[in-house]
Amino acid sequence: MTSGARPSPLVRAAIVGVSGRMGIALLRAAPGFSQLIVTGAVASAESLALGRDAGILAGLAPANLPVTNDLAAALAQADVVIDFSRPTAVRDTVHACRSARKPLLLGTTGFGGELDPELDAAAADIALLVAANTSVAAAVLMELTRRAAGSLPRTFDIDILDFHHRTKPDAPSGTALALGRAAAEGRGMELPPNAAVSGALGRPGPRPEGQIDFASIRAGDTVGVHTALFSGPGEELALTHRATDRAVFARGALAAALWLASRPPGRYGMADFLGFKTAT
CA-to-CA dists, residue 185 to 74, 179, 180, 213, 268, angstroms: 38, 10, 9, 15, 17
Angstrom distance (rounded) from CA 111 to CA 70? 22
Considering the candidates 168, 226, 241, 277, report the single residue annotated as catalytic. 168
Cα 48 to Cα 169, 227, 258, distances in angstroms: 20, 36, 29
- Catalytic residue list contains 168: yes
Sheet holding 11-16, edge to edge: 36-42, 11-16, 80-83, 104-106, 127-130, 266-268
Of the residues 164, 165, 226, 241, only one is catalytic, namely 164
Residue 24: which residues within 8 A CB-CB, separation 6 or more?
A: 18, 57, 58, 59
164 catalytically annotated = yes
Catalytic residues: 164, 168
